[in-house]
Chain A
């Protein structure tokens, strides 16, 4: 167990005009840990994730990341080329809608290979071999490698997006409702896949979800957000089985038992 956090978010604040979307959110993420952020739509969980990733400008606070050499750096103080390099290699972002994370007109193999090339790979044969291997790992028939993702089902597209993100072996993966738009049977397969890959690769991950069952299955710890604020944080099963905050109690008691 490492004692140094990989990611440290301090008092992060995001405003949309006069609305406070994220209100002084603070959390840490340690290597190999999976953190879930839950809350209903409008609670600010996706805004928090996007601000951590640098897609939304912060109106206060900071995001610190530990580089390979152990130095903790504030992301907004890094030179832009270095930030882009981090985003291409060490970080990955899985969008709820695979169309936002894939290029729909180029082949599946091209989608995976593109990220490898952005990270510096040049040898075509090796790129193709690696792409084939990753299609297999996310349970896509390698015979479909030259087909564009628009010919894939929603579940396959989502698995392809995950392959594209993981091919560069990132240390940190941010996921926004990765199972959100999928049928229940497809969700189960994807959840099992994410669970296995996270554990096999020793990834650190932050997963935004409104689905408490997804949080229970994947996350070691969780944060509950309401109105832009983190109202409760703790061990996943403790927050779900013994929620302390009124809003967490409402959230847990509102789940339909199948």
Chain B
């Protein structure tokens, strides 16, 4: 069996709310999870169980309390729970991609450039990265007249498609996918499923949250339940 691309070992996360008198909110305790090339692990569990918290910790967006998050980056294992901010920036540029539910719009930057940005950051030249961006936007059925416009005024579904195109533009070995089809119509949800299947086929290790049961059945190779701590206690 192939080497794991992502290995989470005993991960715990607790929030301390200093403005609420130092209340502690434990969300994750002792989470362990291994994902190999070509696997897509669906996180399951009720709303509030900590699925999104786990995803954000895996991206270095939330600071883990205890445990390790090992990612294979350029052939060596990097522990994101202990990595410096600069190492995390490097891992995000070439190894771990994150497709969130919402697009963070940058004033004045057109859709095409938003999608091309991860390719530019990884070193692709401007013309080639824009061609690839256009190919993805076309595949996600975003009307061509929108490509040169900033997405601030786009509909929710259009913004999500820009976000998906951006997330899948670079072939990250590890991908975190949070509700990729939440505001998509069936035809575009089908395209999103296709993108995930292709990522698996090229050997990506994927962790995702898929509320839609049909989408989950279509893409997940297995499920990993995230148990709310109150219920586990």
A contact residues vs B (CB 8 Å cutoff): 1, 30, 33, 188-189, 191-192, 195, 217, 220-221, 234-235, 237-238, 241-242, 244-246, 249-250, 253
**Interface-side segment among B60-68, B200-208, B211-219:** B60-68
Chain A proximity mask over B48-79: 1 for CB below 8 Å, otherwise 0: 00000000100011110000000000000000
> Contacts A1-B86, A191-B107 given: A238-B63 contact, CB under 8 Å?
yes
Q: Is the interface of A mostly helix, strand, loop or mixed?
A: helix
Partner of B89, one of A235, A244, A250: A235
B108 contacts A246, C-beta separation under 8 Å: no
Q: Report chain A residues within 8 Å CB of B56.
A: 241-242
A221 contacts B85, C-beta separation under 8 Å: yes
Partner of A220, one of B16, B63, B89, B107: B89
New A-B pairs, 4, CB < 8 Å, besides A1-B86, A234-B85: A192-B108, A220-B86, A238-B61, A249-B17
Q: Is the interface of B mostly helix, strand, loop or mixed?
A: mixed
What is the chain B residue whose CB lies nearest that of A192?
A: B108
Cα distance A161–B75 in the bound complex, in angstroms:
45
B61 contacts A242, C-beta separation under 8 Å: yes
A1 contacts B107, C-beta separation under 8 Å: no
Partner of B86, one of A33, A191, A244, A253: A33
Cα distance A242–B18 in the bound complex, in angstroms:
12
What is the chain A residue whose CB lies nearest that of B107?
A: A188
What is the chain A residue whose CB lies nearest that of B15?
A: A242
> Contacts A234-B85, A253-B19 given: A244-B108 contact, CB under 8 Å?
no
> Contacts A1-B90, A238-B63 given: A192-B18 contact, CB under 8 Å?
no
A249 contacts B19, C-beta separation under 8 Å: yes
Q: Report chain A residues within 8 Å CB of B33.
A: none
B19 contacts A217, C-beta separation under 8 Å: no
Cα distance A244–B64 in the bound complex, in angstroms:
11
B86 contacts A30, C-beta separation under 8 Å: yes
| Nearest-Cβ distance from residue A92 to partner chain B, whole angstroms | 23
What is the chain A residue whose CB lies nearest that of B117?
A: A199
Q: Report chain A residues within 8 Å CB of B85.
A: 220-221, 234-235, 238
> Contacts A221-B85, A235-B85 given: A250-B106 contact, CB under 8 Å?
no
> Contacts A235-B60, A238-B61 given: A188-B86 contact, CB under 8 Å?
no
| Nearest-Cβ distance from residue A204 to partner chain B, whole angstroms | 12
Q: Report chain B residues within 8 Å CB of A253.
A: 19
Q: Does B146 contact A (CB under 8 A)?
A: no
What is the chain A residue whose CB lies nearest that of B87?
A: A1
Cα distance A250–B63 in the bound complex, in angstroms:
18
Partner of B19, one of A30, A235, A238, A250: A250
Cα distance A109–B189 in the bound complex, in angstroms:
54
Q: Report chain B residues within 8 Å CB of A241.
A: 56, 61-62
Partner of B60, one of A188, A238, A245: A238
For this complex, 20 residue pairs linking A to B, each with C-beta atoms less than 8 Å apart, are: A1-B86, A33-B86, A189-B108, A191-B107, A217-B106, A220-B86, A220-B89, A221-B86, A234-B85, A235-B61, A235-B89, A238-B60, A238-B62, A238-B88, A242-B15, A242-B61, A242-B62, A246-B19, A249-B19, A250-B18
